[in-house]
Structure 1
Amino acid sequence: MSLDQYYTLGRSGLRVSRLALGAMTFGENWGWGTAEQTARAMFDRYLEAGGNFIDTADMYTEGSSESMLGKFIEESGTRDRVVLATKFSYNAQPGNPNAGGNGRKNIMRAVEGSLRRLRTDYIDLYLLHTWDRLTPAEEVVRTLDDLVRAGKIRYAGLSDIPAWYAARAQTFAEAHALTPLVNMQLEYSLAERHIEHEYIAMAQNLGLGITAWSPLAMGMLSGKYKPSQQGGEGDGRLAKVSGAPGFERFTERNWKIVAELEKVAQEAGQSMAAVALNWVATQPGIASVIIGATKLEQLDANLAALSFELPAESRSRLDAVSAPERPFPYYMFTDIQQTRIHGGVAVGDKPAGYAPPLFVPKVEARKIAVD
């Protein structure tokens, strides 16, 4: 695989690279990240490599990420080529509850701000960033449909939501002939595999392509951290903010994954980051993987993730060491239980060419190579 081989996103005609450039690191407003000159160099390098899918959000580096991207895209004249994704949910005006969340009022406010900062009159992919535990899925879907009809966005999706909420939203869109969702953006890595329980099967059945964020587990799988008496040490965000929600990565399980990943990477002659990214990019249901960097050399190392094929034996070892627990009811769906359900008779897929009464197309990666 290479970046100039594009795949359709979910059940849509939108073609995206298998690696997306994450722009959360564009800007230094959060005390970490990268200055504009380095961000521009990474933007240029990604496009030169054939990439076309760029992800940001209105809250990344307090809006600086969107502003930088808008400037880069305008100056490079690449608006038609770039598939630009951004997100809404987080509050922009403390004290004003309607300047955040997923209600119609905030979505309409947020999209105008993003369009202004991105210096564009449309957004290719607009995503609900995080479930607010309040707004009905129906309200979100109708609002996104209105934005598509108004020409302000081309496609819509969801990020960081419960599986039931995504299923309700997509089913509502289908039932009322509204703009269908084409994407879910979810955390996925060797260290975080819980989406395998529900989300991947749901995405394949409902036409949602998954883009994976934090495929290196906040840098845990990059090789920059080592175990210590304090849990872990290294030069990166995890060592600075360890203990914050979502950053609790220095666990016994994760150190075992890191150790096995290091062995596999050495055997393959690749960096740990490249192997970890390759594993995610070639998992079922994954349409694209979001890569982020603060240095150009980090981006170059990440872009090498598609340049090799991971041996089956190596993949099996990584699968085994990172296998997630099977909580209820998932342990009920093992091969042993299925054998009892089907009476010991082998039950597989129907023969090729067999047409079931109701055809529901599954999400499949459709490659479009560009010479």
Structure 2
Amino acid sequence: MTRCGVSALDCYRVLGRSGLRVSPLALGSMTFGTEWGWGSDKLEARRIFDTYVGRGGNFIDTANQYTNGTAEEWLGEFAAADRESLVLATKYSALRRLTDPNSGGNHRKSMIASVEASLRRLRTDYLDLLYLHLWDGLTPVEEILRAMDDLVRAGKVLYLGISDTPAWQVSRMQAIAELRGWSPLIALQIEYNLIERTGERDLIPMARQMGLGVIPWSPLAGGVLTNKYHRADLTCDSVAAAAGDSRKHLVIANESLTERGLAIATVVAEVAEKVGRTPAQVALAWTMRDPSVIAPIVGARTARQLADNLGALEVEFDEEHLQRLERVSAVELGFPHDFLSRPAAHRTVFGDLQVQA
């Protein structure tokens, strides 16, 4: 049995169908920088980084346009002394110049230029993990996969992942990569938390079958599950909120701050009190119960918040608490999943026979 430290960040997990070992919580860097109006200054960002790495954490997530490039720049500076020991993951797809249509998207030109810029900002000659960030609905999958494979063959990228893309496209891409001998995808980054569970319909089962480890983003639903928001905060709709520049506006725009979201947060807080933990720890620990989930991304604004989040690795639930969380957050799986789970469908296939998997 592997011996783990106090925080269990050094109880590493294998990412997808690969041999890459990563910590069970990833450190998000979207809060590194104040350009978006709600992040951390450089001194606090350094404290966050040092706290995570000092406790054995090795998996750090960023993207080409987080805080307009500041996140990658600071991360490159912070990681320089321990570069080989860290798993640095970044993403491409976001528009880098507002008047240049080819400076964003999933195509080869955007990918190559974005990776080269990320390498410069991160002060490294290779990326451990490159994600396609958001599906653009335009680029042929063969172009994406071949360009990714070229980067791997050139030694500029070691592993590949994908984020915010329909399940059928991801499974199609993985099958093509395997059939053509191109580098496979090993990680799937999706929004997944007690408020947003629809990934359980197709994305998470697909990832399990196709060899991708699931990396949840926003496991605290932008802070809603920490019980920091209340009904008085429901002041505008998602369209109006999209024009705002506060953290709350971002959460509303992402449709996490709703009546349903607040009701779920209330139950999370009640369970947290029962188990002697904070709401953030309970919400994070819940996402890690699924074995397909490898490492939720925690994005703290302060080192103190990060230290609290790391306590999620020590949370234990009993059946009553889990049932409360499951009931309040349940989503319909929809067709064909609900149909196939009905007794009539089961009897059509198996009759009265007992067949075990």
Once the two structures are superposed, what CA deviation does each residue of 1:264-302 show, in whole Å capped at 9, x if it has no partner?
100000000000000001223101110011111111110
Residue equivalent to 1:348: 356
Residue equivalent to 1:146: 150
Q: Which of residues 209, 212, 218 is equivalent to 1:208?
A: 212
Alpha carbons 1:125, 1:155 under 8 Å: kept: yes
Identical positions, percent: 47
Matched, 1:36 2:42: yes
Matched to 1:282, the amino acid is R
Structure with higher helix content: 2
Q: Which of residues 317, 320, 329 is equivalent to 2:324?
A: 317
- 1:321 Cα deviation (Å)? 1.1
Once the two structures are superposed, what CA deviation does each residue of 1:340-365 show, in whole Å capped at 9, x if it has no partner?
2321333221xxxxxxxxxxxxxxxx
Residue equivalent to 2:13: 7
Residue equivalent to 1:239: 248
Once the two structures are superposed, what CA deviation does each residue of 1:138-164 show, in whole Å capped at 9, x if it has no partner?
111111100000000000010000111
Query: Could you tell me how far apart the structure 2 residues matched to 1:337 and 1:285 are?
Result: 29
- 1:253 Cα deviation (Å)? 2.1
Structure 2 counterparts to residues 58-207 of structure 1, below 5 A:
58-74=64-80, 77-207=81-211
The 1:120–1:132 alpha-carbon spacing in structure 2 relative to 1, beyond 3 Å, is same
The 1:52–1:243 alpha-carbon spacing in structure 2 relative to 1, beyond 3 Å, is closer
Alpha carbons 1:231, 1:251 under 8 Å: kept: no
SS at match of 1:288: coil
- 1:257 Cα deviation (Å)? 1.1
Query: Could you tell me how far apart the structure 2 residues matched to 1:296 and 1:307 are?
Result: 18
Residue equivalent to 2:282: 275
SS at match of 1:249: coil
Query: Could you tell me how far apart the structure 2 residues matched to 1:229 and 1:4 are?
Result: 38
Alpha carbons 2:234, 2:257 under 8 Å: kept: no
Residue equivalent to 1:26: 32
Once the two structures are superposed, what CA deviation does each residue of 1:225-262 show, in whole Å capped at 9, x if it has no partner?
12238469xxx955344642x1x223232222112111
Structure 2 counterparts to residues 250-269 of structure 1, below 5 A:
250-269=257-276
The 1:337–1:48 alpha-carbon spacing in structure 2 relative to 1, beyond 3 Å, is farther
Alpha carbons 1:238, 1:249 under 8 Å: kept: no
Residue equivalent to 2:336: 329
The 1:70–1:61 alpha-carbon spacing in structure 2 relative to 1, beyond 3 Å, is same
Once the two structures are superposed, what CA deviation does each residue of 1:174-229 show, in whole Å capped at 9, x if it has no partner?
00011111001000000000110001111111100010000001111011112238
- 1:120 Cα deviation (Å)? 0.1
The 1:153–1:229 alpha-carbon spacing in structure 2 relative to 1, beyond 3 Å, is closer
Matched to 1:343, the amino acid is G
Which deviates more, 258-267 or 209-218? Answer: 258-267
Query: Could you tell me how far apart the structure 2 residues matched to 1:113 and 1:238 are?
Result: 27
TM-score by length of 2: 0.92
Query: Could you tell me how far apart the structure 1 residues matched to 2:26 and 2:37 are?
Result: 24
The 1:181–1:194 alpha-carbon spacing in structure 2 relative to 1, beyond 3 Å, is same
Unpaired segments ≥5 residues, structure 2: 237-244
Query: Could you tell me how far apart the structure 2 residues matched to 1:138 and 1:161 are?
Result: 15
Residue equivalent to 2:306: 299
SS at match of 2:162: strand
SS at match of 2:172: helix
SS at match of 1:186: strand
Matched to 1:345, the amino acid is L
Query: Could you tell me how far apart the structure 1 residues matched to 2:125 and 2:266 are?
Result: 47
Alpha carbons 1:218, 1:237 under 8 Å: kept: no
Once the two structures are superposed, what CA deviation does each residue of 1:73-106 show, in whole Å capped at 9, x if it has no partner?
11xx110110000000011112211111011111
Alpha carbons 2:281, 2:315 under 8 Å: kept: no
TM-score by length of 1: 0.89
Higher relative contact order (CA 8 A, sep 6+): 1
Query: Could you tell me how far apart the structure 2 residues matched to 1:308 and 1:243 are?
Result: 28
Query: Could you tell me how far apart the structure 1 residues matched to 2:106 and 2:266 are?
Result: 41
Alpha carbons 1:219, 1:238 under 8 Å: kept: no
Once the two structures are superposed, what CA deviation does each residue of 1:94-126 show, in whole Å capped at 9, x if it has no partner?
221111101111111111000000000000000
Matched to 1:191, the amino acid is I
Residue equivalent to 2:227: 223
Query: Could you tell me how far apart the structure 1 residues matched to 2:258 and 2:94 are?
Result: 29
Query: Could you tell me how far apart the structure 1 residues matched to 2:132 and 2:234 are?
Result: 36
The 1:199–1:348 alpha-carbon spacing in structure 2 relative to 1, beyond 3 Å, is same
Once the two structures are superposed, what CA deviation does each residue of 1:26-46 show, in whole Å capped at 9, x if it has no partner?
001111100010000000000
Query: Could you tell me how far apart the structure 1 residues matched to 2:204 and 2:337 are?
Result: 14
Query: Could you tell me how far apart the structure 1 residues matched to 2:136 and 2:98 are?
Result: 16
